[in-house]
Amino acid sequence: MQLVELFAGIEQIARPGTAASWDRSGLQVAASRQEVTRLAVCLDPVPDSVRRALDAGADCILSHHPLSLAPDLPRRMDAYHEVLRLLLGADVPLYAAHTTLDVNAAGPAAWLADELRLRNRAVLETVAPADRAGALPFGYGLAGDLPAPMGFAEFDALLSRLLDFPGGTVCGPVPERVARVAYCTGSGSSLWGEALAAGAQLFITGDVKYHTALETRIAMLDVGHHSLEEAMMRRMSQVLAAMFAGVDVIFVASASPLRPRCAFGDVQTPVL
């Protein structure tokens, strides 16, 4: 497949015009090659993921997060320099679908809503009108009704089976029962007010800040930045595999850079 055709297909799902003003979605690193036979999809364009993609024979890489939000000269021997070295040395392009993917309520960002079978869905923060009649607008976060209300502990157990995270934290007033939930991938905790206004009793997101936890008037479950978006990109790889019959699409899995404290061993003596 021609590289330009592949990018056009990606942009049907992650539309460039919907990117946030501060974002750098789109082509990150150019290459001279014109054709692609194997596409690697990953969450972060870090050296380990890029290296594994190249070792698997990828001739194009799609990541969620951009290589850099503020590109600079590769004047230091750091991860940015190493990724550029790997990609330019292999003549492999890197494309990022970041906020352009986050705001597509009908795309892979809706994977958790699909798994929870949420009904009566609503976008929390609209950024662009719907592109067809009956569709949701483009925007951040989704809210929806569960098929049937359930207790908080029961819902938390269900969520734990769907997400790959070692724990999580909760803040705000925990409800006895949950009928309507909202979520936003990544650092979406600032949308807790929109989740509350959408009628949700519980808001699921990542990177909840201390002062946000103090202020929230809705139960907020922080499942980490990685878990929701890793699953989103896995779903994206499946969508692209179905879309591109002539391209082998592989998913490069990753682990969260945040680890439970117990990973460092049991500490018996408190540190003063």
Q: What is the mean pLDDT of the chain?
A: 94
- The structure tokens listed for 255 are 């682990």
- Model-level pTM greater than 0.85? yes
3-state secondary structure of 180: strand
Q: What is the pLDDT of residues 240-254, one digit of tens each?
A: 999 999 999 999 999
Beta pairing, strands 169-171 & 94-96: unpaired
Give the single-character DSSP code of 198: T
Angle at 113 between CA 199 and CA 64, to 5 degrees: 115
How many other CB atoms are there within 10 angstroms of residue 267's CB atom? 9
- Please name the residue ranges forming H helices in the chain: 3-13, 47-55, 79-90, 99-102, 111-115, 152-162, 192-197, 210-215, 225-243
Q: What is the pLDDT of residues 25-45, one digit of tens each?
A: 999 999 999 999 999 999 999
Sheet holding 38-42, edge to edge: 26-29, 94-96, 60-63, 38-42, 248-251
- pLDDT confidence band for 271 (50 / 70 / 90): very low
Q: Which residue has the tokens 């003596």?
A: 269
Give the single-character DSSP code of 98: S
Residue type, 42: C
CA gap 7, 109 in Å, rounded? 19
- The structure tokens listed for 132 are 């067809």
In this predicted structure, the answer to whether residue 269 has a pLDDT above a threshold of 50 is no
In this predicted structure, the answer to whether residue 261 has a pLDDT above a threshold of 80 is no
Closest CA to 110 of 99, 100, 120, 121: 121
CA gap 169, 51 in Å, rounded? 33
Sheet holding 119-128, edge to edge: 119-128, 138-151, 177-183, 202-205, 219-222, 169-171
Domains and CATH numbers, the chain: 3-101 (3.40.1390.30), 103-225 (3.40.1390.30)
- Contact between residue 189 and residue 212 where contact means Cβ atoms under 8 Å apart: yes
Closest CA to 229 of 143, 175, 165: 165
* pLDDT, position 60: 98
Q: What is the pLDDT of residues 80-131, one digit of tens each?
A: 999 999 999 999 999 999 999 999 999 999 999 999 999 999 999 999 999 9
- Contact between residue 181 and residue 199 where contact means Cβ atoms under 8 Å apart: no
